[in-house]
Amino acid sequence: MQITQRNIGLTVDDSLMRVYVAAPEPAGQYPGILFYSDIYQLGSPITRLADRLAGYGYVVAAPEIFHRLEPIGTVIEPDELGKLRGNDDARRSEIAHYDADTRAVLEWLQAEETVLSDQIAAFGFCIGGHLAFRAALQDSVKAAVCCYPTGIHNGKLGRGVADTIARVSKLNAEILTVFGTLDPHVPSESRQQILQALDEANVVHKTLLYEANHTFMRDDGYRYDPVATDAAWGESLEFLSRVLA
């Protein structure tokens, strides 16, 4: 279906956070998705993914994850310097600030008249995959799609050590993890650590594994894999449709 696109501003701890919102154009109410970027924020590869998801009947809200450190509207280029910059922004971000931003966007989704407030999920990539997993600790989140999530297994998310994996037993949401076998950032032993924690906590979850590299769903880089991307999209859409039905 056709979609609309807009930007809204949410003030969190006296910092203005831009949130990119893509939504179905036809009037009605739809499930809501808290949508997290990778370290490069809301460049066109990420907003295209948000738009694509919205076209399947979701109100998608994507916040700028480094709004406390970067000027509003900043897109970090996915090159050598951008990688250094994005990773440094991540390193300097307080984990409590990430959590506060999560709550702010979830509260906005629940209050938005076009969103079915009892049908909310999270979706993210790389660091955003970790943030989507962590967002699922909130009671309002029914499902989370976590694409090649980094740092869950070792607590690497921001300043200090994130307690995400230690809190897995608090999850009430269903979890879908998406990994690439060629991903050096989440190797086999790290994937198994995450999946074992979910199993031991009796969390309903599913994992997808493709012969692909890290960030294989970004369509602007040498690691892009359109076949794996299409397969992951199909599985993710089916997962969201089932859990949010």
Residue spans per domain, the chain? 3-243
Residues 6+ apart with CB under 8 A from 173: 121, 122, 136, 141, 142, 143, 144
3-class DSSP state of 74: coil
Q: Which value, in Å, is the radius of gyration of the alpha carbons in the chain?
A: 16
Range 117-121, long-range pairs (CB < 8 A, 24+ positions): 117/32, 118/142, 119/31, 119/32, 119/244, 120/31, 120/32, 120/33, 120/34, 121/31, 121/32, 121/33, 121/34, 121/145, 121/173, 121/240, 121/243, 121/244
For residue 209, with 0-12 CB atoms within 10 Å meaning exposed, 13-18 middle and 19 or more buried, which class applies? Answer: middle
pLDDT of amino acid 87? 98
Which residues form the catalytic set?
126, 183, 214
Which residues are registered as beta bridge partners of 20? 7, 62
Residue 245 pLDDT grade (very low, low, confident, very high; cuts 50, 70, 90): confident
pLDDT tens digits, one per residue of 101-136:
999 999 999 999 999 999 999 999 999 999 999 999
Q: To the nearest whole number, what is the mean pLDDT of the chain?
A: 97
pLDDT tens digits, one per residue of 201-213:
999 999 999 999 9
The single residue listed with the structure tokens 């599985």 is 235
pLDDT tens digits, one per residue of 212-235:
999 999 999 899 999 999 999 999
Residues 6+ apart with CB under 8 A from 34: 61, 63, 102, 105, 106, 109, 120, 121, 122, 123, 132, 135, 141
pLDDT tens digits, one per residue of 55-67:
999 999 999 999 9
Residue of 132, 142, 114, 98 whose CA lies nearest to 21: 114
Out of 3.65.10.10, 2.40.50.140, 3.40.50.300, 3.40.50.1820, select the CATH number for domain 3-243: 3.40.50.1820
